[in-house]
Amino acid sequence: MPVPTPFHPRTSELCTSLLYKEWAGCYAVCRYDVYVDREYYALRNQATVMDATPLYKYDVTGPNAADLLSRVMVRGFEKHAVGRVSYVCWTDEHGKVLDDGTVTRLAEDWFRVTSAEPALEWLDRNKRKLDVRVVDVSRSIAALAVQGPLSRDVLRPLVGGGIDQLKFFRAIQVELAVGGSRVEGVVTRTGYTGDLGYELWMDNPAALAVYDALLESGAPLGLLPMGLDALDVSRVEAGFLLSGVDYTSARYAFIDRHLSTPYELAFDWMVQLDRRPFVGRSALRRAKETGPMRRFVGLEIDWDEFEAIHERFKLVPHLATGTCREGVPLYREGRQVGYATSRTWSPLLKKYLALATVEAGLARPGTALSIEVTCEYERHMAKATVTPTPFFDPERKKA
Amino acid sequence: MAARTPRYDAIVVGGGHNGLTCAAYLAKAGRKVLVLERRHVVGGAAVSEQVFPGFTYSVCSYVVSLLRPWIIRELELARFGLEMIPLESSFLPLPDGRSMCRWSDAARTRAEVSAFSPHDAERMAEFSQAMSKIGRFVRPIIDAPAPEPASWNPKDVIELLKLGRHFQDAPVDQMALRLKLLTMSAVDFLDEWFESPELKAPMSVSGIIGTFLGVRSPGTAYVLLHHYMGEIDGAFRSWGFSRGGTGGVSNAIAASARHFGAEIRTEAPIDHIVVDGERARGVVLRSGEEIRAKQVISGCDPRLTFLGLVGEKHLPADFVAALSRYRFRGSSGKVNLALDALPEFVCRPGAEHLRGDIAVAPSIDYLERAYDQAKYGTYSRRPYINIVLPSTVDPTVAPTGKHVMSCFVQYAPYELSTGPESWPQHREAFGETVIDTIEEYVPNIRDLILHKQVLTPWDLEQEFGLSEGNIFHGELTLDQLAFQRPAAGWARYRTPVRGLWLASSGAHPGGGIMGSPGALCAKTMLEERAL
């Protein structure tokens, strides 16, 4: 049975739809209202607050903290500056991706790792003789994602002027001003929406006070609580892949074709091969040499063709706001060349988008493929063009 | 010295949203385009201005419904700053203390309507489905240049036949419904579906917006359909605010146009369009500067374009005659208010129902009476008012805690019995009438008003170049739509003056923040290799 997060007393009051799902063993709101568009538009036009507590979180401390992470992750952390956040993945010995997440250096000897799947055992297993301690803080630290163009203004009364100096993918430790008192916390300028946004990390006992302070500060700015459904649309617009949906963790892969190298997930940019040995290094060297067989890409599905398929049945396509996670095959010249794993109608771009995996030779932007479209229980084909991600990349995200 | 060789492939006269759209499409196709706007801001009637410091008014046009998704896609408007916020509800306050709110949540709407009529609550789904089916038929017409029934050009004939098949290919009940929509009044049409007057009154109003007709006038049913066009765009959604006001739409289109290489000049009023040898050659600005171009495109309404900027002497007599019969008859005004706090409606306190639109349309008789007064040249003593408070969902348009209230008011006939030029003397009283009306629902409204802007049809004509103050560049009635807009034989953006094109709401498919006339004009020009 899922457990409530520390924000549950507030979020359950606000969640009039009673639509929840299980996320890492916790109750997570899908949408607060049956009408999900309000949350999506609040995210893109104002600001939203989402309970991100279910994320797995680990504090890695000690003189060798950086060494452990450098050994486990596909990049090194020895020179990773304090106050910096990195998005990174980690692989098994065969160079197959286990998970992806963020690593924040909070002090010289203190890192915080977030992940989609549990990672304590994997970190501990690789510790060997290093002087480092890994503590699972998943259920003792609460997290909120405050995202959207006005998120900075929402946070300013709590965080103070420091929020204006906080750069993209940087972190600060702060004393949050809540209800006349101050609570310790961490603010990172990160998120899963591809918009301007921040994440707040605090000890469980402070959770409700922070939540109340946020809602109060956000009310005049149009801040709304947001659930996972709207998040799922925004993360596709941002081109972010999701473990368990767009790729399978090596831990759960049953057959070889379920496995992915970082190169296949288009994570090339995060892999640092020329450094001290790390888990998967030699396999990754080989993988880089041979080049990936397939590649993670963005697709834009041709709306006119999609409409024309519906028109054959005298239908008008209706796509509710939300992301469809059923995989569908992709073709080129009659041959299957890949599959789309997440599809969403972007209410903002007025485009039908997909995240997909295709043969490496067909991953270049502009490549025309066909996607299977089921209409009235019949299979049809519509054009889908490989498109660079992020599909939506507002300047404010990094400004 | 005026340059003799054209520096531009095209000059667009008027930087309204359609002119800008046309310019963006031409620039995207690699053409050298110049947009000339008379005012200091682009947008025409889709404009945001801080008339009162700190408060951004969508001065004229105030909601966006029909902006075509393919235009948003093709001009990459999201990338250039277009941000849309959907209207969440439609609120009807009633003078007797009751109220009805229709929500995006269908079940909730059903419950609200049920309080007035359980039958109507159930019928709404059926009605909406029937309208969407018809909308499906109409949509190909609004997303393509108008059909040309008088042409024997094989391409036109084939198109017309296709359209005919599309039309005929329907069950009898659908055909009957279509004929009813084309001929009936909005009220008669709704009477066939619903029993509750409280539901029918606000619904019928969409049939009269921007026309000088009443809800009981035949032919108004058709315009109801336009309300369903947003829905039949499938994944699109219906009405919305543009962040920062409707000027946000124009600014995004302008940014897209500039990105593709178009040049936009503001405060560049045109004196006339240069026509020599029956061909448009360029424009002369009021400053005396002459600018030449291979093609001239007008984003202004047909009267201003042809009788104002071209001149009768360059036009065939039958075209001038057709233009003089083309009806403008502006029938609406606008009151914009800056408020110190959110207004509270006595019939339903709270804020949740104020995030959509609010209709002061308590009964059909009320609406018809409002029209009766206008018929004889006075503004309605108790008008239909469509109110929106964009600051409830868009904090950028007003200081924190304060609000902007936009009131679309009908009827305010251009032709006052004392003459349209007497409007300035009536402006103040007209504004007071609107506030008096609102006061019946929000008793303390006067205490909240920090600033008031009143626009009469006369102001819309003088300030925004909308002939007779018609917000749609000519009434949206069936006889002025499709192949008859603005005149039979000239519905495909071409004009009797070679090298002059019409890309405004006065061209097919008409008014509203759609962008279609501008986009379709540009597409036609490119297809016909006009430049």
Please count the CA atoms within 13 angstroms of the CA of B484 that sit on its side-chain side: 12
Do B318 and B264 sit in the same domain of this protein? yes
Question: B438: which strand partners?
Answer: none
| Pick from A46, A221, A318: CB nearest B235 | A318
Q: Is residue B236 part of a domain?
A: no
Cβ contacts of B83 on chain A, cutoff 8 Å? 44-45, 348
Do A124 and A166 sit in the same domain of this protein? no
B60 at A interface, C-beta within 8 A: no
Cβ contacts of A46 on chain B, cutoff 8 Å? 393-395
Do B206 and B270 sit in the same domain of this protein? no
Provide the shortest C-alpha distance from residue B4 to chain A (in Å).
Answer: 42
Across A102-106, A225-229, B526-530, least confident range: B526-530
Cα B382 to the center of its chain, rounded Å: 23
Instruction: Report d(CA A13, CA B174) in Å as an integer.
Output: 46
Q: Best mutation site among B67, B76, B79 for testing chain A: the one with the most A CBs within 10 Å? A: B79
Q: Domain ends where: B204, B230, B256?
A: B230
Cβ contacts of A316 on chain B, cutoff 8 Å? 132, 136, 232-234
Instruction: Report d(CA B132, CA B174) in Å as an integer.
Output: 11
3-state secondary structure B248-289: HHHHHHHHHHHHCCCEEECCCCEEEEEEECCEEEEEEECCCC
Q: Is residue B95 part of a domain?
A: no
| Pick from B79, B85, B233: CB nearest A45 | B85
Cβ pair A303:B85 closer than 8 A: no
Cβ pair A45:B243 closer than 8 A: yes
Cβ pair A220:B395 closer than 8 A: yes
Do A286 and A378 sit in the same domain of this protein? no
The pLDDT, as a whole number, for residue B227 is: 65
CATH number for the domain including A85? 3.30.70.1400
Cβ pair A38:B69 closer than 8 A: no
Do A108 and A209 sit in the same domain of this protein? no
Do A65 and A31 sit in the same domain of this protein? no
Q: Contact B257/B17 with Cβ under 8 angstroms?
A: no
Q: In chain B, whose CA is at the least distance from the CA of A392?
A: B79
Do B342 and B457 sit in the same domain of this protein? yes
Residue B466: count other Cβ atoms within 10 Å of its Cβ.
29
B70 at A interface, C-beta within 8 A: yes
Q: Is residue A246 part of a domain?
A: no
Cβ contacts of B394 on chain A, cutoff 8 Å? 45-46, 222
Report, as an integer, the average pLDDT of A40-69.
97
Q: Is residue B384 part of a domain?
A: yes
Cβ pair A33:B78 closer than 8 A: no
Q: Is residue B3 part of a domain?
A: no
Domain with A280, as residue range(s), is 57-137+261-290
Do A42 and A70 sit in the same domain of this protein? no
Q: Best mutation site among B142, B236, B354, B523 for testing chain A: the one with the most A CBs within 10 Å? A: B236
Do B461 and B342 sit in the same domain of this protein? yes
Provide the shortest C-alpha distance from residue B64 to chain A (in Å).
Answer: 14
The pLDDT, as a whole number, for residue B453 is: 98
B174 at A interface, C-beta within 8 A: no
Do B344 and B454 sit in the same domain of this protein? yes
Do A36 and A148 sit in the same domain of this protein? yes
Return the residue matching tokens 């009751």.
B98
pTM metric for this prediction = 0.92
Q: Domain ends where: B442, B467, B492?
A: B467
Q: How many domains does chain A have?
A: 3
Indicate the residue type of B474: G
Cβ pair A303:B69 closer than 8 A: yes
CATH number for the domain including B320? 3.50.50.60
Do A165 and A100 sit in the same domain of this protein? no
CATH number for the domain including B419? 3.30.519
In chain A, DSSP assigns E strands to 19-23, 26-31, 47-51, 56-61, 85-91, 97-107, 110-115, 133-136, 141-147, 171-178, 181-188, 197-203, 223-225, 294-301, 323-324, 328-332, 335-346, 351-359, 368-375, 378-387
| Pick from B73, B86, B136: CB nearest A41 | B86
Cβ pair A350:B70 closer than 8 A: yes
Report, as an integer, the average pLDDT of A54-58.
98
CATH number for the domain including A149? 3.30.1360.120
Domain with B117, as residue range(s), is 112-230
**Of residues B172, B166, B453, B164, the one with CA closest to residue B337:** B453
For residue range A271-302, list pLDDT tens digits in order. Answer: 999 999 999 999 999 999 999 999 999 999 99
Q: Is residue B105 part of a domain?
A: no
Cβ pair B237:A347 closer than 8 A: yes
Instruction: Report d(CA B408, CA B397) in Å as an integer.
Output: 18
Q: Domain ends where: A226, A245, A269?
A: A226
Q: Is residue A236 part of a domain?
A: no
Q: Is residue B92 part of a domain?
A: no
Residue A269: count other Cβ atoms within 10 Å of its Cβ.
9
Interface of A with B (CB under 8 A): 33-35, 37-38, 41, 44-46, 150, 220-222, 303-304, 307, 314, 316-319, 345, 347-352, 392
Q: Is residue A161 part of a domain?
A: yes
Token readout for A229 is: 């459904």
Instruction: Report d(CA A390, CA A240) in Å as an integer.
Output: 8
The pLDDT, as a whole number, for residue B477 is: 85
B171 at A interface, C-beta within 8 A: no
Task: Give the residue with greater pLDDT, B482 vs A368.
Answer: A368
Q: Is residue A249 part of a domain?
A: no
How long, in residues, is chain A? 399
Token readout for A72 is: 């486990």
| Pick from A222, A318, A347: CB nearest B395 | A222
Cα B261 to the center of its chain, rounded Å: 28
Q: Is residue A255 part of a domain?
A: no
Cβ contacts of B78 on chain A, cutoff 8 Å? 348-350, 392
B395 at A interface, C-beta within 8 A: yes
Q: In chain A, whose CA is at the least distance from the CA of B341?
A: A220
Do A388 and A303 sit in the same domain of this protein? yes
**Ranges in chain B, pLDDT < 70:** 1-5, 166-169, 227-238
Q: Domain ends where: B445, B467, B489?
A: B467
Provide the shortest C-alpha distance from residue A319 to chain B (in Å).
Answer: 5
Task: Give the residue with greater pLDDT, A321 vs A6.
Answer: A6
Cβ pair B395:A46 closer than 8 A: yes
The pLDDT, as a whole number, for residue B15 is: 97
Cβ contacts of B403 on chain A, cutoff 8 Å? none
Do A30 and A103 sit in the same domain of this protein? no
Do A47 and A151 sit in the same domain of this protein? yes
The pLDDT, as a whole number, for residue B234 is: 46
Do A184 and A43 sit in the same domain of this protein? yes
Cβ pair A220:B235 closer than 8 A: no
Provide the shortest C-alpha distance from residue B356 to chain A (in Å).
Answer: 12
Report, as an integer, the average pLDDT of A294-321.
92
Q: Is residue A276 part of a domain?
A: yes
The pLDDT, as a whole number, for residue B146 is: 85
B307: DSSP letter: I
